[in-house]
Amino acid sequence: MVRGMYRSRTLRRVKVKAPGGKVHIHYRQRKPQAAKCAYCLKPLAGVPRENAKVMQSLAKTKKRPQRMYGGKLCGNCLKGMLQRKARDEQ
Amino acid sequence: MILFSVGRLCLKLAGRDAGRKCVVVEILDDSFVLVDGDVRRKKVNLKHLEPLAQTLELPNNASHEEVKKVFEKMQLPVWDTKKKATPARQKKVKKVHEAPAVEPKEAKKAAKKSKKEAAEPSALAEEKDN
């Protein structure tokens, strides 16, 4: 029986084959949910799905697209919004 | 291509210039134009542009400076890339390595001995107390 703290599913389980042929279970931290577009809820491209510790070590330019609202809205939704706004003003 | 004629003010919809205003400087192709203004001077697909009502008067094949003048008249912001100031190169100065000062061995030994002597009597005293 494993330790109590490992019996919850908070940590994900990875099967690792040891040199002797035995399969061991390693417990690793789960990754966070993928970033989603605030408008269409589709997963965003260009935003890495990493734990906070890894994200901290990344450069700002590697964490989100350099577009307006990059990392919040997807390109298509932003395009539609800009178009609608431009057409409303005219 | 009446919509995207030279001098047409447009809104950029894609890329890192999205949401900024630009003007068509040259028509390159059926689907590509050269734009300038509040964006990087760039070849752009028409799918990535939204035409606005305004048109600006531009000379043929206007340079960035000419576009800048027109934009400033209209009180529109202009994209300007600043060249990074390169610092003047410093001449290399040869490093002179100085030999580290080495303590003579005998002096080190003497220092160790004196430390031991200082530590031992106190330890003995503690044992006696217990």
Neighbours of A11 (CB within 10 A): 13
Chain B contacts of A79, Cβ < 8 Å? 13-14, 18
pLDDT confidence of residue B130: 54
- Of the listed ranges A2-11, A13-22, A35-44, B96-105, the one predicted with least confidence: B96-105
The verdict on ipTM greater than 0.90 is: no
Which residues have CB under 8 Å from B20's CB, separation 6+? B11, B12, B37, B38, B39, B77, B79
Which residues have CB under 8 Å from A87's CB, separation 6+? B50
pLDDT per residue as tens digits for the range A47-85: 999 999 999 999 999 999 999 999 999 999 999 999 999
A-B contacts (CB, under 8 Å): 32
Which residue out of B11, B47, B79 would a mutagenesis test of the A interface target, given it has the greatest number of A Cβ atoms within 10 Å? B11
pLDDT confidence of residue A74: 95
pLDDT confidence of residue B121: 63
Q: How confident is residue B97, by pLDDT bands cut at 50, 70 and 90?
A: confident
